[in-house]
Amino acid sequence: MSTDAPPPSKEQHKLPSPEEFAEVHESAEFGELRRSYRSFAFPLTVAFIAWYLLYVLLSNYAGGFMGTKLFGNINVALLLGVAQFLTTFLIAWWYSRHAAAKLDPKAEAIKSRMEGGA
C-alpha cells in the first residue's frame, strides 16, 4: 500500500515546561487566537441550535404548517429537514475555511515557538 505522505519526522521537539505553557496562555497572541475562535464558533453554534429547536418546535406544535404541501409530495417539514442537513455541511465548510485562514496560522506560530523552532 502506497501513500503520498512522507514518513513521520524523527527529530525531537523541545517539550515546553509548565511555566512556558502558563506564559503562552497569558500572552496577547494566545488571547487573540482564543477570541478569534470564540467570535466565530459561539454565535454560529447558538444560531444553529436555535434553528434546530425551531424545527423541532414547529414539528411538535405546528403540524398543519409543517404538513403544507409545496409541490408534489414535498411539504414544509421535508424541505426544512433537508435544510438542516445542508446547513450542517455549510457550517462545517465555513468553519474549515475560517480555521485555515485565521486560526491555524496563529496556532502554528505559537506551537513552533513553544517547540523551539522560532
How many whole angstroms separate alpha carbon 41 and alpha carbon 58? 26
Name the pTM for this structure: 0.74
User: What are the 10-residue block averages of pLDDT along the chain, 118 residues in total?
Assistant: 64 75 88 94 96 96 93 93 96 95 92 76
User: b/e string for 16-53 if b means 16 or more Cβ within 10 A?
Assistant: beeeeeeeeeeeeeeeebeebbeebeeeeeeeeeeeee
Domain locations along the chain: 25-90
